[in-house]
Structure 1
Amino acid sequence: MPTAAAVAPPRTLVYPSERTVVLLSCGLSCLGSGLLVATHALWPELRSRARQLLLYLSLADLLSAASYFYGVLRDFDRSSWDCRLQGALSTFANTSSFFWTVAIAFYLYVTIVRSGLGPGSWLLFCFHIVSWGVPLVITVAAVSLKKIGYDASDVSVGWCWIDIEAEDRVLWMLLTGKLWEILAYILLPLLYILIKKHIHGAGIGNTFQGGANCIMFVLCTRVIRARLFSLCCCRLRSSSSDSPDGPSHAPVPARARGSQESSRTPVELPST
């Protein structure tokens, strides 16, 4: 007797309105991330360390939103090759996005609270190792063990993630996203509280929140610093030239006066 075909797991109903909202959200995310990447590429003078970290977060978000967009449009009904590819890309990008978000918060903590240390190139290197390396290792392990596949829209809106038929799917859901998401929800408020406590301890209070943004995104940008310095110099020069005594004139040297007098044509007396 022929072997009966494997029956696909029951699929969770996804309404068209849910797909529309997810597609719109992915599109806006791609647009925003793309604009951040474009401004970083077009204007090199605006590149600072903080904006570099924002660039890497934008790249991860762009890849994540694009993979989810494809998954929702494709509306998978089985574990095909593009289902596994989309699931692998979204797993890597989404996990990397959590790591880069925490990295930016930690960078702010080091810059504001531990300003004496000074964030150097070694810190950026560590961010790259952790934020790209750990998601890559997790994704390769999940693909190698065939844990990524069709999830019957049980925990998604049409895209693929962890195979719904995997016995240890809850463990892999934690490893490929949910665990790092929970840790981010814990670490981000903790770092924010430490930064706010440091600012409050300095006696500045809530009014320094704009100052912290100015330090990170204005004073840490070379071209803005240069333009501010140029503007201050122009103001000083214009104020000195508009003084009540008027512009000061240096005395003309004697040699210059003699040359000026010799160059004058003598006036002829009228003939009688």
Structure 2
Amino acid sequence: MHCLLRATIITFVSSGLSVISGILIFIEYSLNLHHDRLATMFVFMTIGDFMYAVGYIVGDMRYYDLYEEIDNVTSTNCSILSDDASNDLLCKGQSFVTTYASLVSFAWTCNLLITLYLYYIGHHRPSRLREWIMHIVGWILPGIIVISAVSAGALGEDSAEYSGPWCWVRDFPSKGERILWMLFAGKFWEILTYIITFVMFVLCMKRTSCGRNENRMPEYQDDVEIPRFCYAWIILMVTRCFGTARFFLYVSDVQVSDKANEWLLNLQSFGDGSLAFVNFIFYLFTNPPFVRKYWNRILAWNRNGDRTMLIL
């Protein structure tokens, strides 16, 4: 099996898990009568992750159809060139959706961590201006960025040279121009998100370790709801670090073996598509009240055989 086809299958599996996880997060949120601001921002972040996963599935189906004879290809560099693919409307549409979705996810991850820190220092109720700024940064700014990229013809097929079995920034003749658009359409904002969220995480942990969380947030019934959102930056970095590593290898012209590149591609294919899935596992199943509630219902069902007890 060619490495690009293998990456396509991996991306399809991880993205499918994220789509299912995103739906479950939306259902859990809609059935929960207690909607605090952090949970709402987490759902906004999940919307971006959900759109991202759906776009990847579309990109996978396109790649599978485009390279259905891929097993006959003898190249081992995980890169297949296609002169006809760069102008594919489906490719550009998928790139538009996934680029916008990833920027939305980055923006709301930053909003989440910044809001959490402001809660820690006593700003429990955001002003109307701050809410407007968060929504502009979370929804409108990503739209401006991706529309600018589309207008300049920067999105399209890259022949999996520096991404994976999906479309993103097209294959420019000039490498410098290609790198600038890669930064503008994602990587700069991704790295900036790492920095902002890490700083907010450190500040939040500092407030907690110094015992200065006396300003308990009135919206929360359980303090465990607060710190678990701090780790959003870790989940983002762990899932997307392989794509970032491939980006830096590409920028610095570092040559790695075909085997190492294939491993990085496979890890990126799983990580990039799995963000909503990993968030679902972490945020829901590390929530003790949630786990206790369903564990008690499972025990009651085992004792009584009443299947309706498992229904929310």
Normalising by structure 2, we get a TM-score of 0.59
Determine the structure 1 residue equivalent to 2:241. none
Q: Deviations over 1:93-113 (max 9, x none)?
A: 01111111111111110111x
Please say if 1:83 is aligned against 2:86.
no
Q: Relative contact order (C-alpha < 8 Å, sep 6+): which is higher?
A: 2
Correspondences of 1:55-74 after superposition (within 5 Å) = 55-74=43-62
Aligned letter for 1:199?
Answer: T
Correspondences of 1:196-235 after superposition (within 5 Å) = 196-202=205-211, 212-214=223-225
Normalising by structure 1, we get a TM-score of 0.67
Determine the structure 2 residue equivalent to 1:183. 192
State the identity as a percent. Answer: 28
Q: Deviations over 1:104-144 (max 9, x none)?
A: 111110111x2146334433321110111111001111111
Determine the structure 1 residue equivalent to 2:17. 28
CA–CA distance in structure 2, aligned partners of residues 192 and 149 of structure 1: 35
Cα shift at 1:212: 3.8
Gaps of 5+ in 1: 1-12, 205-209, 218-223, 225-272
CA–CA distance in structure 2, aligned partners of residues 20 and 136 of structure 1: 29
Provide closer, same or farther for how the CA distance between residues 163 and 119 of structure 1 changes in structure 2, counting only shifts above 3 A.
same
Determine the structure 2 residue equivalent to 1:162. 169
Structure possessing the higher radius of gyration over alpha carbons: 1
CA–CA distance in structure 2, aligned partners of residues 29 and 215 of structure 1: 24
CA–CA distance in structure 1, aligned partners of residues 170 and 226 of structure 2: 46
Q: Deviations over 1:36-75 (max 9, x none)?
A: 11222344x1322111101111111110110011101211
Cα shift at 1:33: 1.2
CA–CA distance in structure 2, aligned partners of residues 101 and 147 of structure 1: 26
Q: Is the CA contact (8 Å cut-off) linking 1:23 and 1:69 kept in structure 2? A: yes
Gaps of 5+ in 2: 67-81, 214-220, 229-288, 290-312
User: Structure 1 residue aligned with 2:113, among 88, 105, 116?
Assistant: 105
Q: Is the CA contact (8 Å cut-off) linking 1:111 and 1:119 kept in structure 2? A: no
Q: Deviations over 1:166-202 (max 9, x none)?
A: 5311101001110011111111111111111122222
CA–CA distance in structure 1, aligned partners of residues 140 and 61 of structure 2: 29
Provide closer, same or farther for how the CA distance between residues 211 and 141 of structure 1 changes in structure 2, counting only shifts above 3 A.
same
User: Structure 2 residue aligned with 1:54, among 17, 30, 42?
Assistant: 42
3-state SS of paired residue (2:126): coil
